Amino acid sequence: MDFQLTDEQRALKDGTRELLAGRFGRDRLRAAVEDPAPDRALWRELGAAGFFALRLPEKDGGVGLGLPEAVLVLEEAGRALLPGPLVACQLLAGVVDGVATGEKIVGLCEGAREPVLWEHPAGCDELILVEGARGRTSGAYRSAPDRVSCAPFASVDPLTPLARVLDLPRTEPVALDVPRLRREAALLTAAQQLGSAVRTVEMAAGHAREREQFGVPIGSFQAVKQLCAQMLVRAEIARSAVYAASITESVLDVTGAKLLADEAAVRNARDCLQVHGGMGFTWEADVHLHLKRAWLYAERWGTVGEAEELLAAGLIA
């Protein structure tokens, strides 16, 4: 099978990168560390560009594309470390009015896990709680933020504030295909992890070319070459798995893609820190932001342990 991107897909990917580079560059990224609330103006701009309505039919005002295109867009968002409930808004654009255009921001919680965590609680206009995992009764409920009882929860990622949901009234059910939503949420999260993994490869290679020691670039040292090469291999393996899963939409393929993307994001960020040396551990460097985001997303929509159990069960079956 040919998994090469089409000209239209490349244009979509390049256009998303160009938009984010212009509207969410390094200065805005560092500002978001202090104030991670979603930028409403940028959110509306993303909506106008079809970021959230990507998979809605054209007759409903959408772009009419598919899951592979959504993966490409979320990959670029992960590369830029764009904050906000992007996966939630991508998945719920046809469910909650105003989300597709970027006028409204919706949050999504996994009710099947404890604690129930809500990302970006201060920036959401509505909240959807999804319950049910493998073999369990599933359902989805919506609520206005002022009806949700929650408490602050420490987040390892300064770009992703969290709250622990203490109580959410289950009086407004939403007709959603919960197993499919969970599967697609895992894949789109994997796409963000892939984007971060690719970005840290670029950062490590760029630093290795510029940083000199003993009068030569550190990239000429075998140990640094090996680290960068291993990072690239991880990222490309994860890319193949994520792109393939976006076409097959198989539960096992998505699970494997999430597992590989999580590994690539976390390990690449760690190796990128090592290539940067002592400077990589400073607050001024951006490497730690990729590592913290990777840690957080590795625990969302399927952990390593859950993925390994599911894949092992699939092999036995």
Distance (Å, rounded) from C-alpha 217 to C-alpha 93? 48
pLDDT at 317 over 60: yes
Place of tokens 């206009």: 125
How does pLDDT run across 201-241, given as a tens digit for each residue? 999 999 888 886 787 877 778 888 999 999 999 999 999 99
Radius of gyration of the chain (CA): 19
Alpha carbon 168 to its chain's center = 25
Q: Report pLDDT for 292.
A: 96
* Per-residue pLDDT, 36: 86
**pLDDT given for residue 140 in this prediction:** 85
Q: What confidence score (pLDDT) does residue 135 get? A: 45
235 neighbors 194 (Cβ within 8 angstroms): yes
**What pairing do the DSSP bridges indicate for beta strands 126-131 and 139-143?**
antiparallel
| Sheet order of strands, 149-153 included | 117-119, 162-167, 149-153
Question: Which amino acid is located at 73 in the chain?
Answer: V
For the segment 107-157, what is each residue's pLDDT rounded down to a tens digit?
998 877 788 899 999 889 999 998 876 545 578 888 888 888 999 999 999
Place of tokens 């494997």: 256
**Are residues 240 and 273 in contact, defined by beta-carbon separation less than 8 angstroms?**
no
Q: Residue 2 above 70 pLDDT?
A: no
Please report which confidence band the pLDDT of residue 1 belongs to, taking 50, 70 and 90 as the band edges: low
Q: Tell me: pLDDT of 158 over 70.
A: yes
Kindly state the DSSP code that residue 175 receives in the 8-state scheme: -
Nearest to 206 by CA among 131, 293, 287, 263: 287
What percent of the chain has pLDDT above 90?
60
pTM of the complete model:
0.93
Flag whether pLDDT at 272 surpasses 70.
yes
| Average pLDDT of span 276-281 | 81
Range of lowest pLDDT (117-126, 181-190, 256-265): 117-126
- The per-residue pLDDT for 137 is 54
CA 61 – CA 123 distance, rounded (Å): 25
Q: Which of 48-62, 71-85, 298-312 has the highest mean pLDDT?
A: 71-85
| Token pair belonging to 301 | 């929509």
Pairing assessment for the beta strands 216-217 and 149-153 based on DSSP bridges: unpaired
Burial of residue 25, with CB atoms counted within 10 A of its CB: 0-12 exposed, 13-18 middle, 19 or more buried: exposed
What pLDDT does residue 200 have?
96
Measured CA angle at 46 (ends 247, 6), to 5 deg: 35
Question: How sure is the predictor about 257, in pLDDT bands with cuts at 50, 70 and 90?
Answer: very high
